[in-house]
Structure 1
Amino acid sequence: MARAARPLLIAEPSRYAGRSARQARRLLAALALVLLIALLSGGSGAATGSLIEITNAGVVEAMRHGSDYYAASLQAARSADAPSRLLFTFPLPTLAVLQAAIGQVAAALLLYALAMLTLFAWWQRLRSAIPRPSVRAIAVVLAAAGMINALLGEFVAVHDLWAGLLLSLSLAARTPRHWITAAALGFMAAMIRETAALYLGLMLVVALLEGHKREAAGWAIVMAVFAAAVAVHLQAIAAVMGPLGDPQSADWAGAAGFGFALHAIAASTALSLLPSGVAALLVALAIAGWSAWRNPLATRVLATTLAFVLVLTFWSGPGRAHWAFLIAPLVPIGLIFVPDALRDLARAALDRRRITVTRTAA
């Protein structure tokens, strides 16, 4: 085994330091294959943000003029010729009620404040992993790249954008002793975008695996309360839709593919300014980078990111590319761990030391 070298950017050697040559070569080969797929993947994962924004903004505007949320949502979906799917056409009314109450300008400012708070939380949380302020500043810039739409005030009415920031803040705030805040933020994210409930389940599983029984119970309670809220929400939808409802399109038209998932994430960040192949490659590299940090937080971020990548890969499509906003604030940060990971893997893979056995006279 190769001995761990002094870290380049992070405080401690990466998870890949000291690996055997065989392990390192296999990991590098797997990474090279993933990066090649990412580079060659075609298509676009750009979210249909215009339709989502127009539909949600129309609902909020109707509510400001006294309309009921569910009636306004149904009318907006019909006007946009969108299929009436229960939790896709009718997200929980949390965000719409908030925006209708405070106004568009205040909502944009609140979204910006949430993004800035999330950036500050990551600056603080990465202090132990990245002690040098200059390097940590780069990590925060990478985080900002994942929040670019929030910082620029775009897609204010898109639920996934708000939920993604709350998920990122939840992870940054979570510690073994302070998990209640993380659970509350995760609950808020799920109450804005139901797809974020996957995060609640993941945190429950990870807490159990790590032996944090009280935390696991807390996440279970949060999931139960969320399920109750969804049950009430579905009853309200049924009331406005009537017994027959509207004609509905197929709920799933096949897997969109891994390339689509990477492009959707890239399109949700500042990486969209780069050529599509390069942007997808950097997304794949950033996700892999999270695996290099020896910290339970990195395990939770990696689990969250991979879970939503799988959702985008196998149960998504152009009409749901906006789900990528849920992990967009997390993914680019992983690039800060890549230099140490690659250096440690390359050093281990090139290690040619042999153990020589000699006989001595008795």
Structure 2
Amino acid sequence: MAQIATAAPGWNRFVGVSRPIAAAILGLLALLMAWGATSDVGRDHVRVATSSSPHFDGLVGDHALYARIAQRVAAGESYYTTAAAEHRAGDYPLRPFVAVRLPTLAHIVAALGEKKAQLILLLIGGAAISAWYRRLRTEPDLPRAAAIGALFVAANLTQLAAREWIFIHEVAAGVLIALALALYRPARPWAAMAIVAAAVAIRETVLPVAMLFGLFALIDRDWRAAAGWLAIGLGFAAGLAAHVAALAAVTTPADAASQGWNGQGGWIAYLSFVQASSLLRFFAGWVGALLVPLALLGWAAWRSRLGLAALSIQLGYAMLLMMFARPANFYWAMLVTPTLFIGLVFAPAALAELARSLRGENAPNRATAV
């Protein structure tokens, strides 16, 4: 960490900021940390979903629902007929169409079997950890100590080793997002593009990531890349239309409708979701209340296209979780928790520069310490 604090300032966005801006940033950081530390993070903000149907093979709630669907698809049944039957049996809503997951993950698990599907997820997770290590080790200006960020990725992919999580779509999509971010380079976006396309096919809530990268391509006037991201969007629209049509064929107006997604839990709910969906689940709530704002500050400090992309994704999904996620939707945070805490490796340098600006010190040109 000390090495990062003395690194060359080129990568650090907070070098030389004015005293009022430094005071505002540090004030907001202190406010968010104090707000979380003095609140009941986790309590009443997270709830494991239950259903009226019996447990399935040691699994409960959403885990059991998606496991039953995958097993029946493996036996040759239609995904949509099966999904409708299982949703009704467990008193899960079937309306609107977003209440029923896309069929991609169920078909993957059905085709490969649970053990092979879990092995593939573990391999993708290992690839994401390795890719982040290489990326943080080789990025210009960043000190070698930044590579420890890969450990934070590894620590927050531990759910891949638990059987029940292979059925949760956000877990698979989250590890794919982590890998795509590590591989993303504006001049060579094709690997990240293919991985994001796979993630979108599993969970439609990944679409904002594709839209962000598409926006970057437009800003860069990279028309080939923009066309590729547009193709992903059009493919998603076609797939979603097919999903809506197939679901309409097996549902009726009498089927249960969702209560909606208007949790409006705010900052404390967001912290609770992150805690429940990351390694922080083993710690008291106040730990996450301190670390999550620091991680976001660290991401804000990294002056690079990748840093901007990661920060935008973290803040965008944080807003979605704060506004829409209900207590039972806490695992939505698994889309972003694998990469959130990489920001901690940049936080010490960010704090150091903000403190210097607050004291009115001019930032010297410091050589990189490696």
TM-score, with structure 2 as normaliser: 0.87
Mapped partners of 1:38, 1:205: distance in 2: 33
Q: Superposed, which structure 2 residues align to 1:53-64 within 5 Å?
A: 53-64=63-74
- Residue 206 of structure 1 is matched in structure 2 by 216
Coordinate RMSD, CA, aligned = 2.2
Mapped partners of 2:3, 2:356: distance in 1: 12
- Residue 313 of structure 1 is matched in structure 2 by 322
- Residue 38 of structure 1 is matched in structure 2 by 36
Mapped partners of 1:298, 1:234: distance in 2: 36
Unaligned runs of 5+ in 2: 50-59, 363-370
Mapped partners of 1:100, 1:37: distance in 2: 45
Mapped partners of 1:309, 1:205: distance in 2: 20
Q: Which structure is larger by alpha-carbon Rg, 1 or 2?
A: 1
Mapped partners of 1:247, 1:46: distance in 2: 23
The 10-residue stretch of structure 1 (220-229 or 31-40) with the greater mean CA deviation from structure 2: 31-40
- Residue 274 of structure 1 is matched in structure 2 by 283
Q: 1:253 to 1:26 in 2, by over 3 A?
A: closer
- Residue 29 of structure 1 is matched in structure 2 by 27
Unaligned runs of 5+ in 1: 354-362
- Residue 337 of structure 2 is matched in structure 1 by 328
- Residue 105 of structure 1 is matched in structure 2 by 115
Q: 1:286 to 1:85 in 2, by over 3 A?
A: farther
Mapped partners of 1:87, 1:334: distance in 2: 36
**1:88 Cα offset (Å):** 4.0
- Residue 359 of structure 1 is matched in structure 2 by none
**1:36 Cα offset (Å):** 1.8
SS of aligned partner of 1:329: helix
Question: What is the percentage of aligned positions where both structures have the same residue?
Answer: 32
Matched AA of 1:309: A
Equivalent residues of 2:210, 2:229 under 8 A apart: yes
Equivalent residues of 1:160, 1:193 under 8 A apart: yes
SS of aligned partner of 2:15: coil
Equivalent residues of 2:298, 2:345 under 8 A apart: yes
> What count of residue pairs does the alignment treat as equivalent?
347
Mapped partners of 2:192, 2:278: distance in 1: 24
SS of aligned partner of 1:330: helix
The 10-residue stretch of structure 1 (210-219 or 75-84) with the greater mean CA deviation from structure 2: 210-219
Equivalent residues of 1:38, 1:259 under 8 A apart: yes
Alignment partner of 1:227 out of 225, 237, 241: 237
Alignment partner of 2:301 out of 292, 301, 323: 292
- Residue 56 of structure 2 is matched in structure 1 by none
Q: 1:85 to 1:121 in 2, by over 3 A?
A: farther
Equivalent residues of 1:86, 1:234 under 8 A apart: no
Equivalent residues of 1:166, 1:185 under 8 A apart: yes
**1:153 Cα offset (Å):** 4.7
Equivalent residues of 1:163, 1:196 under 8 A apart: yes
- Residue 191 of structure 1 is matched in structure 2 by 201
**1:307 Cα offset (Å):** 0.8
Are 2:355 and 1:346 equivalent residues in the alignment? yes
1:228-276 alpha-carbon deviations (Å, 9 max, x no partner)? 110011100001114x250313213441212111210121111111101
- Residue 270 of structure 2 is matched in structure 1 by 261
Mapped partners of 1:77, 1:352: distance in 2: 62
- Residue 135 of structure 2 is matched in structure 1 by 125
Q: Superposed, which structure 2 residues align to 1:245-256 within 5 Å?
A: 245-256=254-265
- Residue 180 of structure 1 is matched in structure 2 by 190
TM-score, with structure 1 as normaliser: 0.89
**1:9 Cα offset (Å):** 6.7
